Amino acid sequence: MNEEPLTPEGEGFEIDYDYYNTKKNRRFKTADQWWQTFCTNGADELEKSDIRKELLRELDDDVYLAMAVNHFIGKNYKSWLDKKGIETLGGFTPRECLKSNYGIKRLRMLFLMSH
């Protein structure tokens, strides 16, 4: 059975993520560097976390995203991954966002802009 590809609702945070790279007075060279710097604040916390291994498995071994999710969501990450109604994710759940490049950018901006 073939699943239809998911289509995001409206313009989302991925536009803002890509736009960061075009700003003249940006603090970091790229949006990816901004994201990585933001996440590494939670590196030690992730290393000590008892959910580290399973969280990395759920997030396709995305260490930076695991740092953010561990810090801001914590042990409730399983229910958060399937949470519907997060407006800035364009109708996707966080788990669905993991399946596309624009979805991952939306997740990154969700954390960057919320905290």
Residue 6's pLDDT is 58
CA distance 31 to 46: 22
- How many Cα atoms occupy the beta-carbon half-sphere of 53 within 13 Å? 1
How confident is the model at residue 11, as a pLDDT? 59
pLDDT score recorded for residue 69: 97
Q: How many CB atoms lie within 10 A of CB 90?
A: 20
Residues of the chain with pLDDT under 50: 1-2
C-alpha to C-alpha distance for 96 and 103, rounded to whole angstroms: 7
Output the pLDDT for position 98.
95
Question: Residue 12: its pLDDT value, please?
Answer: 65
| pLDDT at 55 (0 to 100) | 97
pLDDT at 1: 46
Tokens representing 95 are: 């788990």
CA angle 113, 77, 93 (to 5 degrees): 65
Single pTM value for the model: 0.86
